[in-house]
Chains A and B, each alone.
Chain A
Amino acid sequence: MFQVRIHGRGGQGVVTGAEMLSIAAFLEGRHAQAFPSFGSERTGAPVVAFCRIADKEIRLREPVMEPDALIIQDATLLAQIDVFAGLSENGYVVLNTNHTLEEMGLAEFAQRFRAERVITVSATDLSLKHVGRNAPNVPMLGAFAAVSGLISLDSVAAAIRDKFSGKVAEGNIAAATEAYNIAKARMEAAHA
């Protein structure tokens, strides 16, 4: 079972991101479970959502406390909450920022993980570019697909089409694709 935790803020499509991730996994014939940390959070408040992916029925209903991957849609959260809680050393991190880890002051922290598994991507910029609004969740999924290798970019695109349609869907797919490519390039760079 692969467990993903997504951090973000109300309005950034955190829950939708988890749902799309589960849809993408479902489309690949796997079992998936997506759910938010329930609350009455309004726009701007910190939000968490989860996604479990497995090859058999997922019965577990507890929140993801030891994630295999983290998707952090808003870097400002780093200063407020312990977003990395429970993440194992083999874990994956995708962080939405247009700064480098060094610029974020995370260089030392990132040393604890495998370099090709801790990737930054300017998801906000990409969403503004392709969709016209701050919806980093979709490019983050694209990046996650690249980083984790858990789901294909095609599945992500299909999940996007499940949630959106028309121009919005195509914009999001373009954003996800670009994020995927950026992440892929950064992974290769980190590997190198």
Chain B
Amino acid sequence: MGHQEIKFYQTGTFTVGNRLLPPEQRSVQSDIERTNSLNSGHRACQGCGEALGARYAIDAAMRATNNQLVAVNATGCLEVFSTPYPETSWQIPWIHSLFGNAAAVATGVAAANKVKALKAGKALPETRVIAQGGDGGTTDIGFGCLSGMFERNDDVLYICYDNQAYMNTGVQRSSATPPAARTATTMPVGEHPGNEWGQGKNVPLIAMAHGIPYVATASVSDLRDLEYKVKKAMSMRGARYIHIFVPCPLGWGSASHDTIKLARLAKETGLFPVFEAEYGEVTNVSKIRQKQPVEEYLRLQRRFAHLFGKKPRLDEIERFQHMADQNIRKFGLLGDDKATVGYYGAEHE
């Protein structure tokens, strides 16, 4: 676990709140006064993981920055469902520019904030900036700007809400789409139905390779870990990256009520390793609590339905299991195992 375990209340450790904890130990989301940075009335689908992840993350960042926060949004579902004229769901200063430039726009905001701070005679700006986008806006079209922001070590926290495809445009493949998954551009036909095996990119690891101060993965299924990571990220300066796993009922063909369950299974199978890294080095992994076979995860999603048809694709399922097991080994997700993945590029004090 990335965060301090709360042993105090045995039935409440993993829940959002806990009536018995002192307020400072409770999650931001449990707060009756939480910001609701992304407010009601947004047009996300029922059970939208991204809406949830965004509120989790931004509310946590709001608390961490004493509400001195600006958000920059890439084009995508989050942007479209939150700000269709004449209504916005954002309660914070927020800007949407383009699909591929959120990281750079955030760099600009950070620069402006810094100048304002200098003019006010402060060494560091109070107002902080977060850039956020989906996997398409992050791992594909926005990757150049993202890498530039990382490399310059701009004072930006970039949050990727990864729902593993271009959902806004009708579920097309992105470089974060898992193998074998059905998307509108990787149909489940032919010998290898769905998305190709052996493609895609792991942006958290690439982010680490930039040697930036902080990289973490998180999931909507583990709120406390997510909040801890956002808080930690906001306590640091420089380029930071958090990659949040957010299931998409529409794109994945899953039940709207299974959003968090799927996120949990992704972690517990090992398919989505949850970890944090500082300056290119893995410093913490969230251990698997109740290891699950990949079928448990795959079966709940129609995008993988072709693996479980009349002729089940046991070979493909086996490849998924292999992938999960590899993650488990690489990141040391079980027991006392240690992570073996990491880059040691950057020097830091």
Direct A–B contact in complex, judged by CB atoms less than 8 Å apart: no
Interface residues of A, Cβ cutoff 8 Å to B: none
Interface residues of B, Cβ cutoff 8 Å to A: none
